[in-house]
């Protein structure tokens, strides 16, 4: 693949026409963090990261689409000057949320790497941990559901190992799920069990209630959804 600005711009323009709303937009870091919830931050240093994992930006959502094709013709001079330098591109600066990377500095370098078909790029990475897991496929349309997921996890704080595969399309399902988990915990206390905090309740509910129900459903339903939480909401949420 080449690194022609005009070629990249026209590809993006053609896609915008075909989709009637344009290609998917770059994810804005501030809105994504507001939905997912920030917990901690670490410096990962210089790393090699997958170019197709860079799907967001701190501030330049109007200049590039999600595939880092230019949307603004005023970017031509900067693009062409960088392309003419040749050699390996200098490291960019990225912020990582789960599977997603957001550009802090180096939008043109990411765009050139994409245009040239590069699989990876060197980057200084700052990692921000979130309450709800950041999947690479997230779009702006998914943020209301991820916000509801974050609110669920604040009420039912599952262990990190159980959070990565969570996904529900309807935000209301997350609120029903939280109510169900808390009701399960309340029934346990009525039977004389002590659950010291929300984390203990969450772990007990997940492994003693959700997992067994899902296993029973999968043994009798051949087309059950692949994700554990979707199976439970579809078949087990109201089973008691």
| Final residue belonging to a domain, choices 83, 103, 130 | 130
Tell me, yes or no, whether 87 lies in a domain. Answer: yes
**230, 167 Cβ separation under 8 angstroms:** yes
Tell me, yes or no, whether 82 lies in a domain. Answer: yes
**70, 8 Cβ separation under 8 angstroms:** yes
**Per-residue pLDDT reduced to its tens digit, 116-163:** 889 999 999 999 999 999 999 899 999 999 999 999 999 999 998 888
pTM of the entire predicted model: 0.84
**Per-residue pLDDT reduced to its tens digit, 67-112:** 888 887 777 777 777 778 877 889 999 999 999 999 999 998 998 8
The reply to whether 113 and 25 lie within a common domain is yes
Q: Which two tokens stand for residue 207?
A: 């492994």
Tell me, yes or no, whether 135 lies in a domain. Answer: no
**Per-residue pLDDT reduced to its tens digit, 197-224:** 999 999 999 999 999 999 999 998 888 8
The reply to whether 107 and 167 lie within a common domain is no
Give the chain's domain count: 2
The reply to whether 121 and 221 lie within a common domain is no
Tell me, yes or no, whether 75 lies in a domain. Answer: yes
> What's the mean per-residue pLDDT of the chain?
88
Q: Parallel, antiparallel, or unpaired: how do β-strands 38-50 and 92-97 relate?
A: unpaired
Which residue range(s) make up the domain with 79? 5-130
- For residue 54, give the DSSP letter: E
The reply to whether 119 and 208 lie within a common domain is no
- Say how far apart CA 95 and CA 114 lie, in whole Å: 18
């Amino acid at each position: 693949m080449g690194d022609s600005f005009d070629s990249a711009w026209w590809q993006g323009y053609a896609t915008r026409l075909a989709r009637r709303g344009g290609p998917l937009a770059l994810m804005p870091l501030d809105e994504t963090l507001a939905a997912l919830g920030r917990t901690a931050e670490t410096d990962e240093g210089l790393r090699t990261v997958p170019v197709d994992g860079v799907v967001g930006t701190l501030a330049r959502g109007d200049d590039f689409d999600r595939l880092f094709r230019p949307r603004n013709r005023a970017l031509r001079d900067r693009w062409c000057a960088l392309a003419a330098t040749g050699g390996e591109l200098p490291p960019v600066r990225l912020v990582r949320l789960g599977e997603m990377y957001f550009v802090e500095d180096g939008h043109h370098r990411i765009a050139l790497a994409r245009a040239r078909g590069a699989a990876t790029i060197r980057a200084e990475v700052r990692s921000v941990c979130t309450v709800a897991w950041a999947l690479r496929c997230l779009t702006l349309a998914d943020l209301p559901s991820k916000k509801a997921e974050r609110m669920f996890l604040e009420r039912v704080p599952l262990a990190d190992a159980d959070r990565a595969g969570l996904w529900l399309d309807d935000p209301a399902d997350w609120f029903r799920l939280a109510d169900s988990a808390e009701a399960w915990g309340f029934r346990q206390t009525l039977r004389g069990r002590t659950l010291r905090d929300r984390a203990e309740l969450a772990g007990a509910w997940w492994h003693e209630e959700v997992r067994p129900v899902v296993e029973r459903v999968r043994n009798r339903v051949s087309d059950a959804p692949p994700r554990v939480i979707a199976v439970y909401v579809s078949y087990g949420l109201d089973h008691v």
